[in-house]
A and B are shown apart, each in its own frame.
Chain A
Amino acid sequence: MVFNVLLYTSLAIFLLGLIYKISTWFSRKIGISAKNITTSERILAAAKGILGVIFSSKILILIKVFMLDVVLQRRILKENFLRWFMHMLIYGGFMLLLLMHALDDVITVSLFSEYYSTLNPFLFLRNLFGVMVIAGLGIAVYRRFVLKVPRLKTNAMDHYVIIILAVIMISGVLLEGTKIMSHTEFQNMVENWSGLVDEKEIRVLESYWIQDLGVVSPNVKGPFDQEVLAQGREIHEMNCADCHSSPKWAFTGYTLAKILNPIALTLDRAGSSNVLWYIHILACFFGLAYLPFSKMFHIIASPISLLVNAVMEKDKSDPANIATRQAMELDACMHCGTCSLRCSVIMAFEALGNEYILPSEKMPFLKTLAAGKKLSRTELRAIQEGVHLCTNCDRCTVVCPAGINLKELWLNVRENLVQRRYPEPLVLSPFSFVRGLNREKPAPDEYSTPLETARQAVAGEFDLLMEQDRHLSLKDGKLEGLGQRPEDNTFAYCFGCQNCTTICPVVGNYDNPEKALGLLPHQIMCCLGLGLIDMASGPRMLWDCVTCYQCQEHCPQDVRVTDLLYQLKNLAVKNVGKALGENPK
């Protein structure tokens, strides 16, 4: 009764959760490309897409991907053998336990008419599968906490999954162990299954179970006569063995029973089997009910992501389906960290310390963002920097074990984030190269607004400083905020020959370069010489510099002009952070 109430309650929560989660795939909007597509359009497009695939040759691709990437998990194997082995142990063991043990009334019984949970091979297999999961969990803990795989971050959800699985497995093994030892269990079984009534016979049988099969009895104690044991064995084989294999086959429980032997009676009196049974099924039901809301949901979403991405073609797919897929992909991420391990810009993370540079750490935030929750300004700025500090090398997409099309996700989210009001200096660097290659896609003002916002921010107070009647205070010597290398002081050698400006292709491109660029290269060097660092770090010239090094190459005084412009840009970026009230990194 209690069992059924709990089962159906958790199942109902699970199903409602599932429906809710799947509904969010059609309702949540990520980035700007999903902006004008309604939920019903998305549902319709998905149905059309799915039917189109099922009734076409693409079904063969689906079958292939299902076998290789979902069942055999080829993508994880390619990445790392230990990880693949770990995941196969957990997922293989758990799925087999689910099918054979948890759903035995439904599946195993209908397949094997001889099924008893106490009979081999089921008894042995249950233990084997259990050991697989426990070994897999062991490797998971080892990787995360001992080996400390680089950039594999462990968040609350990762802890939860390890804990819930561990509770289910360990309570299961303990339950089996205590049942093997339990005298109460033994009595129940004799009463309900053996058909024995004769007290003496039962006593002989009990002796055999105590001696050979792990039961601990409060009444009967060894050592036993060989004859009694032989008799007991005979009774066992006649009355028990048909539906109960030797508990030794339950090797995990049996080993535990041997270890716990000294306290067996206490445990039995305390009704530990009962308690453990409750812990075991409550943990299972909790895991089931919470599954759609936890990282474990990836067991549903990741295969879907793998299958969907295998058949959706770039540039040919319905935008409605792309929107749905991207919402779904957020659930497919299981925070395994492969993307971060292979990310090209991980060293920028080491330098800047912003976790959102790591792709795996961006995903949970994108979930929050897609769910429409408010993010603080600091978080938004950090995630914005993280999303922009990306060379679009696409390696994350290539290696993702869930087949998530991360590169398109970033492109989409980047466009959305950059339209918010915070200036992002990164758009003024070669990180914008791919955005530039795709500049035809966004609307013209959507394309240029972020660039203008960033330009204004990095300019600081340049326009004010350039006013004619402005009072300026001059300094000389080494300038605060410029780099620490000796080369960063070479501006002092400038004698104003203007070679740098004359040779500059950017300057040469304008009829009135001073108006277009604010200050010209030689003027910037001059500013530095006068200690006008705020003025030097403000002109448009810095950000329109193509870094071709013509100026530096042609300087007769060996002033490192281009490298100094780099230093000034770095300074301007830092000042943007300061102006927004952030701590310098």
Chain B
Amino acid sequence: MMKYALFLGCNIPARVSQYEASSRAVLKKTGIELVDIPEFGCCGYPMQNIDQRAFLFSAANNLALAEEAGLDILVMCKCGYGSLKKAEHIMKEDGDPREEVNRLLSEKGLKYDGKIQVKHLLSVLYHDVGIDTLKSKISGSYKGLRLATHYGCHALRPSKITRFDDPVAPTLFDELVEITGAESVDWTSKLECCGAPLTGVNDGLSIDLTKKKLTDGKKAGAHYLCTACPFCHLQFDTVQKTMVSHNGNEEHLASILYPQLLGLCMGIDKETLGIHMNQLDISGVASFLT
């Protein structure tokens, strides 16, 4: 049985609990055991703008906690994934930052020797569980459902550090979507930013970027966006909801979280997957299920 330390980050428990619930349900079906480490803290992502030391301390502390537990980390957030991968990279090179972090960790009785790996939920499903096993767990499949997969910047780039997939022509997420029978549409801004990093900072710009993605997705004929990151999801869900209400409830492109999509195919009930908890209605997705 594969076992991982589950890294939820800050947004999921507070604002996207359906992502946690649906992921737990799906991973349970695939025979993965998740261990909760209550001492896990901020991944460091929001601190990068302010102080690189604070970022590195935060991220490396999580790495060390997982190493203490002897477990690879399963991250559910793309920004969290990017942060932990960046810290892992810095902690593997010689230099003052590493020395300083090691000193701090040793004061807390922790250490990090780079013995564990950081993986995103999607990578675990794709590489560790495998497409074939996933297919064998699926009881129903979608017909005629067109999805725009949103990869998320901090998983793809910088690719030398994140090593998630090909940064220019990734296929991992598309393949995962397609095992459910849904079609992953080709769309122009697939690899672009969702706009979330500027929410609260420069909302006008943030919404411009989001709008561009939504328009592109619509143009490609997608019924929904598919995401696997709380920031991207909140941007396409909560933020899009306010955009929609400002535009007099014009058409929109709601976001479904990947484990919600997969879970329905696995026969997991809607309540467990929190389908009703998304701000924008995605219940129509079930009508594509055969």
Q: Hey, which bits of chain A sit against chain B, CB under 8 A?
A: 150, 342-348, 350-352, 389, 391-395, 407, 425-437, 439-440, 451, 483-486, 505-506, 509, 543-544, 546-550, 552-553, 560, 562, 566-567, 569-570, 573
Residues of chain B with a CB closer than 8 A to A437's CB: 15, 199-200, 234, 238-239
**B242 & A484 in contact (Cβ 8 Å cutoff):** no
**A573 & B50 in contact (Cβ 8 Å cutoff):** yes
Q: Which interface residue of B9, B50, B51 has the most chain A CB atoms within 10 A?
A: B50
**A566 & B192 in contact (Cβ 8 Å cutoff):** no
- Known contacts being A350-B104, A543-B202, A548-B192, is A484 close to B58, with CB within 8 Å? no
**A509 & B197 in contact (Cβ 8 Å cutoff):** no
- Known contacts being A392-B14, A440-B242, is A348 close to B47, with CB within 8 Å? yes
- Known contacts being A429-B50, A509-B209, A552-B158, is A484 close to B167, with CB within 8 Å? no
Q: How many A-B residue pairs have CB under 8 A?
A: 177
**Chain B residue, CB-CB nearest to A509:** B208
The residue from A150, A342, A570 contacting B52, defined by CB atoms under 8 A apart:
A570
**B10 & A391 in contact (Cβ 8 Å cutoff):** yes
Residues of chain B with a CB closer than 8 A to A342's CB: 38
**Chain A residue, CB-CB nearest to B89:** A487
Residues of chain B with a CB closer than 8 A to A428's CB: 49, 201
Q: Is B2 in the interface zone, CB < 8 Å from A?
A: no
Q: Hey, which bits of chain B sit against chain A, CB under 8 A?
A: 9-11, 13-15, 38, 41-42, 44-54, 57-58, 61, 79, 90, 93, 95-97, 104, 108, 153-154, 156-159, 167, 192-193, 195-203, 205-206, 208-209, 212, 231, 234, 238-239, 242
**A436 & B157 in contact (Cβ 8 Å cutoff):** no
Residues of chain B with a CB closer than 8 A to A546's CB: 153, 193, 195, 197-198, 209
- In the assembly, what is the distance between CA of A393 and CA of B43, in Å? 12
Q: List 9 A-B contacts (CB under 8 A).
A: A392-B14, A436-B201, A439-B242, A440-B242, A484-B96, A543-B49, A548-B157, A549-B154, A570-B52
The residue from B90, B153, B201 contacting A543, defined by CB atoms under 8 A apart:
B201
Residues of chain A with a CB closer than 8 A to B199's CB: 432-433, 436-437
The residue from A393, A451, A547, A573 contacting B14, defined by CB atoms under 8 A apart:
A393
- In the assembly, what is the distance between CA of A429 and CA of B208, in Å? 18
Q: Which interface residue of B45, B46, B159 has the most chain A CB atoms within 10 A?
A: B46
In order of increasing CB-CB distance, the 8 nearest A-B pairs are A436-B200, A432-B200, A393-B10, A549-B157, A436-B199, A351-B54, A391-B10, A430-B46
**B13 & A430 in contact (Cβ 8 Å cutoff):** no
**Chain B residue, CB-CB nearest to A542:** B49
Residues of chain A with a CB closer than 8 A to B97's CB: 484-485
**Chain A residue, CB-CB nearest to B168:** A553
Minimum Cβ distance to chain A for residue B197 (Å): 5
Minimum Cβ distance to chain A for residue B218 (Å): 18
- In the assembly, what is the distance between CA of A78 and CA of B50, in Å? 35
- In the assembly, what is the distance between CA of A99 and CA of B264, in Å? 59
